Amino acid sequence: MGFLSNWFKSSESSSDIAKSRLKLAITSDRAVCSPELMEQMKNDIIQVISKYVDIDTKGLDIKVTRTEIDDESGGTVNAVLASIPIKDKRPFRR
Amino acid sequence: MGETVVIKGTKSGITLVLNPDADYETLKKDVAAKFSDLTAFFGEAYKAISFKGHKLSDEQKMELINIIHENCKLSVLCIVEDDPEEEETFRQALENKLMEQENSSNTGQFYKGNLRSGQVLDVETSIIVIGDIKPGAKVISKGNVIVLGSLQGNVYAGAAGNPNAFVVALDMHPVQIRIADAIARSPDNPEKNIKKRRKNATHETKIAFLDKGNIYIEPLDKNVMPDIHL
Amino acid sequence: MGEVIVITSGKGGVGKTTSTANIGTGLAMMGKKVALIDTDIGLRNLDVVMGLENRIVYNLVDVVENNCRIKQALIKDKRYPNLYLLPSAQTKDKSAVTPEQMKKLTGDLRNEFDYILLDCPAGIEQGFKNAIAGADSALVVTTPEVSAVRDADRIIGLLEANDIGQTHLIVNRLRADMVKEGNMMSSDDVVEILAIDLIGIVPDDEHIVISTNNGEPLTGSDCQAGQAYMNISKRILGEDVPYLDLEVTKSFFQRFASIFKR
């Protein structure tokens, strides 16, 4: 049993894993955005950004999530989170 | 102001919804117009017809049907009544007929197989079940119920009110037995019951019958024979 | 005017029926007149949990189809004379009843009873729609498992969409020892995810199994689950009851175990 408990200690506890997986699943369940609409928005974002920088469309990740507001209220707000990898190493030189 | 005549079609018939406020002469005219418009739609079909909305005498109904016949190729086969009073009379007549049947005859049917929770076997005659009746299952018979197996569910004998109906089971552990208007239920203490059942592992054939408004369950031996009335 | 409360969960097997039986019993113990309605048509269970299955003559479908009067179908509890059960039909399916009929039924019962508890079937289809139709408020039951919590979230969304005013959460089958080891989400975790008010935490207790075997709800008995359900009943009546300290009782069990070790 010793090695098992060590193994559990070294990584995240299973309840934490459950919590974070649930949060993810629930946010996508709650998202009002249909997959088609999501795809359209994604394409539009790619179009606009590609005007300025060369982006890696494969690594692209855009989703609507509930995020905590950065103030004392502790409330939450729906937000579009986009992680868009840029191909160019020094993107903004002119 | 809505239309005076609305035609609703069903699989086998048509319903004429008539405006209760319109007078009969207007209705006649409108029915004629409606049906001549729809001649092509109906073709040469055979339909049953029912009337709704407007109170009509039998003569008036016949007159309207004649109007329909004159104005299109449709053939009205019969009038379906939508009268709750009449329906009740029919139902009672049917039930009386069934009562007669079960009082005068001793006919029966067989059923093979187990009955499980949610299943209902509803028969007009006596029934012999070859199999078990599990908890939650139900057998309803206007006559007697014989279970060649374990009776652990609900059974209703003499469902039309025959107080001489009885229930026989090889293993008698019903949740509820009803005979005619009487209801008996199993004892409330399940634990003891289970223990008792294990003790009496050798199943004893028992009979449930009605006597002076109470349901009795007795071993099926010569002592109860006088209580059985076929 | 009575209050109509629906007990629901989305996922099956998390303890809706057990909770309905026990909370109903708790409210009746405190002198309230309570009606329990099993709305799970085709898969009735509340009757066996209450130990009243041998008394059923008429059921919910008979009432809405006017085969009998409501009073004929209501079964009086074995122990508490102000607790009644309206059993579900076993031989019909969910479509035998419409939301409008349920609304009317609960409306009629309001005049007679202080509380009407509806045991909702699992799922979000017709049966769920029937059960919530006449409800003022809802108790959502979940266990600290991902599947149950996710389904509870879906249910809460649907309850909000259907304008069910108050929604409270019951976290069922919590194991304090597993929470401590980090192998089970705590009630706080679940509340954080679902973002609704908690009304009770019921520990995983083998007495529940025994109580359902016997067909006698255990509310108010000495065991943890019995106390937890009593507390929930009290909170429904508006009492401010502190939550059970499940940790303390755990050490009690350890003490108990150590007696045997000696």
What are the Cα distances from residue B55, in Å, to A38, B11, B81?
A: 59, 24, 12
Q: With beta carbons less than 8 A apart as the criterion, state whether B117 and B99 touch.
A: no
By CA distance, what is C178's nearest residue in A?
A15
State whether residue C53 sits within 8 Å of chain B by CB: yes
> C-chain residues within 8 Å CB-CB of B190?
51, 213-215
**C193:A13 CB<8 A:** no
CATH architecture of the domain with range B107-227: 3 Solenoid (2.160)
**C55:B185 CB<8 A:** yes
Per residue in C20-62, pLDDT tens?
Answer: 999 999 999 999 999 999 999 999 999 999 999 999 999 999 9
Average pLDDT of C110-128? Answer: 95
Tell me the shortest Cα–Cα distance from B118 to chain C, in angstroms. 5
One-letter amino acid for residue B198 of the chain: R
* Chains sharing 3 or more CB pairs under 8 A with chain C: A, B
Please state, for a pLDDT cut of 70, what percent of chain C lies above it: 94
Q: With beta carbons less than 8 A apart as the criterion, state whether B127 and B139 touch.
A: yes
Tell me the shortest Cα–Cα distance from A58 to chain C, in angstroms. 30
**B185:C91 CB<8 A:** no
pLDDT for A51 beyond 70:
yes
- Round to whole Å and give the CA distance between C81 and A45: 66
Domains held by chain C: number:
1
In degrees and rounded to multiples of 5, residue B162 shows phi and psi of: -75, 110
Q: With beta carbons less than 8 A apart as the criterion, state whether B204 and B219 touch.
A: yes
By CA distance, what is B139's nearest residue in C?
C91
Domain ranges of chain B: 5-82, 107-227
| Structure-token pair, residue C191 | 């509340």
Output the pLDDT for position B59: 83
Q: The CATH number of the domain where C159 resides is what?
A: 3.40.50.300
CATH entry 3.30.750 includes domain B5-82: yes
- Round to whole Å and give the CA distance between A27 and C191: 15
- Round to whole Å and give the CA distance between C238 and B121: 48
Q: What range defines the domain where residue C165 resides? A: 3-261
The 3-class secondary structure across chain A, one letter per residue, is: CHHHHHHHHHCCCHHHHHHHHHHHHHHHHHCCCCHHHHHHHHHHHHHHHHCCCCECHHHCEEEEEEEECCCCCCCEEEEEEEECCECCCCCCCC
Most confident stretch, B76-80, B200-204, C76-80: C76-80
Per residue in C171-216, pLDDT tens?
Answer: 999 999 999 999 999 999 999 999 999 999 999 999 999 999 999 9
Alpha helices in C82-241 (DSSP H): 99-110, 126-133, 146-161, 176-181, 187-194, 206-214, 224-236
Output the pLDDT for position C262: 47
ipTM of the complex: 0.76
Question: Model's pTM, two decimal places?
Answer: 0.68
Output the pLDDT for position C81: 96
Q: With beta carbons less than 8 A apart as the criterion, state whether C8 and C139 touch.
A: yes
